[in-house]
Structure 1
Amino acid sequence: MCGIIGIFTREAGLSAESVAAAMAVLRPRGPDGSGVWCSPDGRAVLGHTRLAVVDPDGSAQPLGDEPSRTRLVANGEFYDYRRIRTELAETGHPCRTRGDSEIALRLYLRDGHRALRKLRGEFAFALWDGRRKELFAARDRFGVKPLYYAEQGGRLYLASEIKALLACGLAARWDLAAYAAHLQMALPPDRTLFDGIRQVPPGCYLLAGGGGVTVHRYWDLDYPTTAELTAVEHESSTALSGHLARVRSGLDEAVRLRTIADVPLACHLSGGVDSSAMVASAADHREVTTFTVAFADTALDESPVAARTAARLGVPNHRIELTPADFAENLVATIRAGEMVQENAHGVARYLHSAAISASGFKAALAGEGGDELFAGYPQFQQDLALSRSPKARDRARTGYRKLAAFGAPPHLRSVLDRLGFLPSWLTQRHFAVLAPSRSLLRPEFAEVLAGTDACTPLLDQSRHQLDGRAPLHQSLYLFAKSWLPNYILGAERLDAAHGVEVRLPFFDHHLFATARTAPLSWYTRAGTTKYVLRAAVHDRLPGEVRAGDKRGFFAPPLVRDDGLLAVVREMCAGPALRDNPVYHPAAVRRLLDELLARPADQRAGSERLVQLVVATSVLTAEFGMTVGGVTG
């Protein structure tokens, strides 16, 4: 995990000083070294701040190849790099360093843009091709690593963080249409909350040269059609056992490749199946140390289970106890680091989790995110699985759709229902838990923007080939992965980066996905057991209490249940942060907070997301001095 910054212009005039301010902003991501390179013609400049995890004594960036006049800066990790280095040497393209990043440079020199097919990992990189006078930048398949870009004054800017782009002189303005899309569904995969600042979507690359700036897709999730699933379902009884073996082997390989580092390795460990399976596999390959967040709220505290799991696996476990005061003190810093809104308190918990890992001397860690997306573990996905398999469930759902339509379903939900014939459960839940309750708090100007926004139709139009002919579960999983996942769950990357910690995610391995995706629907849940494939594949590695435990997401205690935290929010909302917030009406917000404070603490949780959204948008407005910008889709 490092920081990268790049600027390209078709005119001359760039120098190392052009990225000096951005480099300073990116320093927390890469405290171990830095480097800047400017092309002789002044048309491109690349900067890099380094977190030295592989080949710490070498592999300084930018990496270059003098004969081709090519330079590269990379963030993240390229896995299986040792095998690829050998292959490159055998084909006449030997690497000169012992690190992983150089393989991207050498593969590009050999294969051009097709090099992306060979790269495996969590990465974002930018490469200047001096022969073609072209900037080539790419982001990993699942969007684990960020890559932001903007065009201004005839220049293209790209960076690992929005703050770095702002340091280059770009204005901080709200993209209100993007926030409206967030309330409806999620940020569009190519947008941010900042007007004019975009993302290279997951699985895509950007080209900038004489022909302008273009973005192209090199990979996409591709679930089997219902016909293909039916064919597998009718195979012999040994098909399931073979699939379990392949999943186990695929997970082991994904974990093993991510344990390769020249620094000590930490692991996130909760009380759940995903992190426990990941730690069990990692401990087979090298020495690891686990870290677990703990809360005073025993209903949400998984640390006792995690401690017993760590003891069974024979690995050290560090308990990180968080208090309401910790959340109050770090709320603003978390939102600033993440550059996006938080909807519950676990963003602060993640921020402090990484701070503790860093304070213990670790730069690299493994985490278990992705298991629920691969194996349909969330309750909403289980509902979509039922729709895929049960005519009765589909009939009940249609009754619910008719009721929703009678109450005036918004256009974005109608477009999904018209196109797919059903509504993904996570999208319906978002409507009732976030969008509908938000309406009473909105400023009239933003309410108009929201009314004119349809976040779903563009994604549906772009995804026809991946949605047509698929089961409802796979349609739901696909839309979730293309919208909510990279913008929120993987937004934790910025929180880890603030403390100089690189977190590796074995479940987001495209080879493992290629194996897991082939499971027939009947294998996802068996005998009432969710994530059956994963549990069965690693059952001998897990303690009984973890193996049999129900799915429970990682949730921190709700902010709204603590009077002290609510008082902090109330004070925050009495000042200019809320006054300048372009989304939420100050008087309506203060009424909500007063009502919450008058209620018993155990009756406030339903308003947690609303309060978090108000706080996050207010903090972003104040911290970045954001003014009102874009309102169009």
Structure 2
Amino acid sequence: MSGVCGIIGIFARDGGASTEAVAAAMAVLRPRGPDGVGVWCSPDGRAVLGHTRLAVVDPGGSAQPIGDEPSRTRLVANGEFYDYRRIRTALADTGHPCRTRGDSEIALRLYLRDGHRALRELRGEFAFALWDGRRRELFAARDRFGVKPLYYAERNGRLYLASEIKALLACGVAARWDPEAYAAHLQMALPPDRTLFAGIRQLPPGCYLLAGDGGITVHRYWDLDYPTTEELAAVEHGSPTALTGHLAQVRAGLDEAVRLRMVADVPVACHLSGGVDSSALVATAAGHREVTAFTVSFADVTLDESPVAARTAARLGVPHHRIALTPADFAEHLAATIRAGEMVQENAHGVARYLHSAAIGARGFKTALAGEGGDELFAGYPQFQQDLALSRSPAARDRARSGYRKLIECGAPPHLRGVLDRLGFLPSWLTQRYFAVLAPSRPLLRPEFAEVLARTDACTPLLEQSRQQLAGRSALHQSLYLFAKSWLPNYILGAERLDAAHGVEVRLPFFDHQLFATAKAAPLPWYTRAGTTKYVLRAAVHDRLTEEVRTGAKRGFFAPPTVCDDGLLATVREICAGPALRDNPFYHPAAVRRLLDALPTRPAGQRAASERLVQLVVATSVLTAAFGMTTGEATG
């Protein structure tokens, strides 16, 4: 199919649109799809669809937009629809045969057969837009977890939607900061339908959009649905062989998710670290076809996972490439990474990911598998382990309540007090965000933005929207759900834009909704056994892992802190010495410079503690300069 492509669409209710209206946006999106372009305008001028293609499946065919003349429909898609061969056969059997050999067309044919219900049949990482000439309606959708982005904005009575914000700006949408959205990011994460750009929204994961004569509406077609505590208890106290059966189901589910993502008419690469998730994926993928592994390497041995990855690759007989990164590499590509991602970075791992994909693309690979999602599915992050303890241990709950009382006495902000009132606990990742980001940020803020931050509550709206999905669930599953609706699509999956900048599509087997349906059924004691985190995953694929990976502790992917390298710190100083910081609407230049002046005198540990703050200052300054951002009225 198409791989990590670029899509652009316009809906003009009164007509008058033309292909020329998306020419600038198509140029911006070309790095996402260097293998071909296509543009179509409806005869009545009410719709324009554009596509830049990365050819991964059926490279000689499946050019887009894909159309069906009798129904006057056209479709452009970004991403992959998996298991498409089976669906193509089923469509042909029901009188809706596909003309191409790729996977994109199944979305069009399913829509013509089932309407909006077609989304139930689609499996994968995708965003697409479809013009229905019969209904005179634009239909657009985004995958369940939000792996693929889809942004939209209105300008002069027209709706614009695209794979990247830069494409919307190229169509004339104004580049303005949304201060309330950035305040929400500091507190928790961006709201599911907002961006850092005022007036530019994102279609939330698991949702579709309709635009027609009746206006623009957004509808949900899928949501995470964790079992209630009663349902989990029934499994836990049921058959004594339940755990064995669950492990077999997880293994089979992972096998299927990987197998489907190995379907490609081009070579497939894999991200490989020293951890369980990527090691399990590479081992599983190697059982289906030849793969090549890539690992980022740092000079700091405490953060460098390449030796473990090399031993894993050697055991599997998989070709392995080590991408050695130096502080000079980070300095050179810091601004480009932020511009490509269209979002703030909080650790230098964004630059590492950007260069990782550059190296994969430079070796001729267009698609790769990666291990994001393993920690969300199997509660691998330390914060989730703390929430798991709250769910299972009365002593842990008592200790937490004592900590909550102290936090309230010290003046906890309203957004945390609201969460505590509604849930009876604070998700550990949310508490950590307060202590690691929000509280330390306050001395650096401009007074006018500090006021915006004080009156912002990013948590209450999400809690209100999530009542049904949170009710009756354990603290762990409530925490996992809120994380998946906020931090996951808005930060972790933001790496998609960094990969796309180099024409590389990254496929994520752990974010397979069928695998999620299997994994979520695990009772709480199964998440950790005998002191081993992510027990279910380790046990399900134990024979595919080396001993050092199987028994190794959880290691997050972190690049060496920028603030601990004098050369990188000089780059930061250079950025903060110019107009980028002067025009930054969030941070006070004098306060930032005092922090930067003090850092070289501090021990390494104290310097590292300021990494997130410095990254946030640099990222917002670079975005301000790169896009000519002004301060606009927040929307929504």
> Does residue 119 of structure 2 align to residue 132 of structure 1?
no
What is the DSSP-based 3-state SS (H/G/I as helix, E as strand, rest coil) of the residue aligned with 1:97? coil
Partner of 1:467: 470
Select the residue among 315, 325, 328 that pairs with 2:328.
325
Q: Output the amino acid matched with 1:272.
A: G
SS of 1:8's partner is strand
Give the Å deviation of 1:600: 3.1
**Aligned amino acid, residue 5 of structure 2:** C
Which of 441, 444, 449 is equivalent to 2:447? 444
Q: Distance in 2 between matches of 1:578 and 1:27?
A: 30
Partner in structure 2 of residue 565 of structure 1: 568
Match of 1:273 in 2: 276
Deviation digits for residues 140-178 of structure 1, max 9, x if unmatched? 000000000001111000000000000000100000000
Give the CA deviation at 1:90: 0.3
Task: Identify which of 355, 363, 375 aligns with 2:378.
Answer: 375
Residue identity matched to 1:502: E
1:457 equivalent in structure 2: 460
Aligned to 2:420: 417
- State the secondary structure of the residue aligned to 1:507: helix
Q: Distance in 2 between matches of 1:431 and 1:629?
A: 26
Identify the residue that residue 606 of structure 2 maps to in structure 1.
603
Contact 2:391-2:474 within 8 A present in 1 as well: yes
Choose which of 401, 405, 424 in structure 2 pairs with 1:402. 405
- Matched residue, 1:105: 108
- Matching residue of 1:117: 120
Q: State how far apart, in whole Å, the 2-side matches of 1:561 and 1:242 are.
A: 48
Which one-letter code corresponds to 1:205 in the other structure?
Y
- Residue 603 of structure 1, CA deviation: 3.0
* Cα RMSD (Å): 0.6
Give, in angstroms, the shift of residue 632 of structure 1.
Answer: 6.0
Q: Determine the C-alpha separation between the residues in 2 that align with 1:571 and 1:55.
A: 47
Counterpart position of 2:309:
306
Q: TM-score, normalising length from structure 1?
A: 1.00
Matched residues in 1 for 2:318 and 2:623: separation?
A: 40
Who is 1:219 aligned against? 222
Distance in 1 separating the partners of 2:635 and 2:371: 37
1:188 counterpart letter in structure 2? P
Shift of residue 631, structure 1, vs aligned partner? 3.9
Q: Secondary structure at the match of 1:567?
A: helix
2:510 pairs with 1:502: no
Residue in structure 2 matching 1:591, options 590, 594, 599: 594
* 425, 428, 431: which one aligns with 1:428: 431
Distance 2:29 2:263 in 1: 25
- Once residues 343 and 336 of structure 2 are traced to their aligned partners in structure 1, the CA distance between those partners, rounded to angstroms, is 12
Structure 1 residue 599, shift from structure 2 partner: 1.6
Task: Measure how far apart 1:539 and its partner are.
Answer: 0.2
1:82 paired residue number: 85
- Residue identity opposite 1:398 in structure 2: R
What are the within-5 Å matches in structure 2 for residues 275-290 of structure 1?
275-290=278-293
Contact kept? 2:199, 2:634, Cα under 8 Å:
no
**Residue 341 of structure 1 aligns to a residue in which SS?**
coil
> Partners in 1 of 2:622 and 2:436 — Cα distance?
22
Q: Which residue of 2 aligns with 1:512?
A: 515
Q: Distance in 2 between matches of 1:60 and 1:149?
A: 24
Tell me by how many angstroms 1:516 deviates.
0.2
* Alignment partner, residue 201 of structure 2: 198
Residue 564 of structure 1 aligns to a residue in which SS? helix
Deviations 1:527-552 (A, max 9, x none): 00000000000000000000000001
Q: Aligned equivalents of 1:630 and 1:231: distance in 2?
A: 50
Paired with 1:163 and 1:91, the residues of 2 have a C-alpha distance of 41
State the alpha-carbon separation in 1 of the partners of residues 103 and 154 from structure 2: 30
Deviates more, 1:228-237 or 1:325-334: 228-237
- C-alpha offsets along residues 375-428 of structure 1, whole Å, 9 cap, x if unaligned? 000000000000000000000000000000001110100110000000000000
Indicate conservation of the 8 Å contact 1:35/1:60, yes or no: yes
Unaligned runs of 5+ in 2: none
- Work out whether residues 388 and 473 of structure 1, in 8 Å CA contact, stay in contact via their aligned partners in 2: yes
| Cα separation, 1, equivalents of 2:91 and 2:635 | 47
**1:493 and 2:512 matched:** no
Give the structure 2 partner of residue 26 of structure 1.
29
Contact 1:562 1:601 (8 Å CA) reproduced: no
1:523 aligns with 2:509: no
Alignment of 1:350-361 (within 5 A): 350-361=353-364
Aligned to 1:539: 542
Match of 1:258 among 248, 261, 283: 261
In the alignment, structure 1 residue 188 sits paired with structure 2 residue 191: yes
2:7 maps to 1:7: no
Residue 575 (str. 1) matches residue 578 (str. 2):
yes
SS in structure 2 of the partner of residue 271 of structure 1: coil
Native 8 Å contact 1:381 1:426 kept in 2: yes
The Cα offsets for residues 92-126 of structure 1, whole Å up to 9 and x where unpaired, read as 00000000000000000000000000000000000
1:630 to partner: Cα distance? 2.4
One-letter code of the match for 1:413?
L
Q: Percent identity?
A: 87
What is the CA–CA distance in structure 2 between the aligned matches of 1:632 and 1:416, rounded to whole Å?
23
The letter for the 1-side match of 2:541 is: V
Q: What's 2:366 paired with?
A: 363
Query: 2:293 is matched by which residue type in structure 1?
Result: T
CA distance in 2, matches of 1:34, 1:152: 24
TM-score with structure 2 setting the length: 0.99
Match of 1:249 in 2: 252
- In the TM superposition, residue 602 of structure 1 has moved relative to its aligned partner by 4.0
Mapped partners of 1:568, 1:23: distance in 2: 32
What is the alpha-carbon distance in structure 2 between the residues aligned to residue 501 and residue 412 of structure 1? 38
Q: Distance in 2 between matches of 1:632 and 1:621?
A: 18
**Cα contact 1:273–1:535 (8 A) shared by 2:** yes
Deviations 1:36-72 (A, max 9, x none): 0000000000000000000000000000000000000
Report deviation, 1:236.
Answer: 2.0
Give the letter for the 1:7 counterpart: I
Q: 2:75: which partner in 1? A: 72
Paired residues of 1:275 and 1:367 also in contact (CA < 8 A): yes
- Distance in 2 between residues matched to 1:632 and 1:589, nearest whole Å: 28
Equivalent position amino acid for 1:190 in 2: D
Distance between the aligned counterparts of 2:187 and 2:598, measured in 1?
Answer: 25
